[in-house]
């Protein structure tokens, strides 16, 4: 029996990515990273800024997301996100810009706890890529 399932990542503009030979996906869920294998129980959760890594037969791919929702059902994993980047596509200077924007956001005074947490996560993730 194959141990593969489907993944689909959509953002508002288009269907970003779709694969059906996925072995494992690790998503940065709000309460901590979560690994998903085939026949995982149906789950809905949302994402904090972080790295999605997708393990397929042909190799591993990593994506940076800022937010999103994951839904897993009947071996179909859907990820809805408004901002996603392939790690390969992030250029060095581009990354610096992203960090700058994220740091500005995190240093704002009027944030509530949750947005403060999310902004800090964003800075941390981006810096770890550096």
Partner 1 sequence: MASLDDLKKRISSVKSTQKITKAMKMVAAAKLKRAQDSAEKGRPYSQKMNNVILNLSSGISDKSNAPKLLSGTGNEQIHLCVVMTSDRGLCGGFNANIIKKAKSHFLKLKEEGKELKIITVGSKGNDQLKRLYGDKIIENISFKNSKNANYFDAEKVGKIIIEKFEKEEFDICTIFYNQFKNVITQIPQAQQIIPLNTENNDENSSDESYEFEPDEDEILNNLLPKNISTQIFKAMLENSASEQGARMSAMDNATRNAGEMVDKLTIEYNRSRQAAITKELIEIISGAESL
Binding footprint of partner 1 on the chain (CB under 8 A): 8, 10-15, 29-31, 34, 41-46, 69, 71, 73, 78, 80, 82
- What are the residues whose beta carbons fall under 8 Å from the beta carbon of 76, sequence distance 6 or more? 5, 6, 7, 8
Given the complex with partner 1, which of 29 and 123 has the nearer CB atom? Answer: 29
According to DSSP, the β-strands at 5-10 and 76-80 are parallel
Shortest Cβ 35–partner 1 spacing (Å): 13
Shortest Cβ 75–partner 1 spacing (Å): 13
According to DSSP, the β-strands at 43-47 and 68-73 are antiparallel
Shortest Cβ 59–partner 1 spacing (Å): 26
């Amino acid at each position: 029996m194959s141990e593969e399932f489907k993944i689909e990542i959509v953002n508002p503009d288009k269907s970003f990515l779709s694969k059906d030979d996925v072995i494992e996906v690790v998503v940065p869920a709000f309460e901590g990273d979560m690994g998903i294998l085939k026949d995982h129980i149906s789950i809905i959760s949302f994402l904090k800024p972080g790295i999605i890594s997708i393990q397929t037969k042909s190799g591993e791919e990593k994506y940076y997301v800022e937010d999103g929702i994951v839904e897993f059902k009947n071996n179909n994993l859907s990820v809805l996100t408004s901002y996603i980047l392939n790690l390969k596509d992030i250029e060095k200077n581009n990354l610096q810009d992203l960090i700058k924007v994220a740091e500005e956001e995190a240093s704002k005074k009027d944030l509530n706890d949750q947005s403060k947490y999310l902004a800090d996560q964003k800075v941390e993730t981006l810096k770890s890529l550096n």
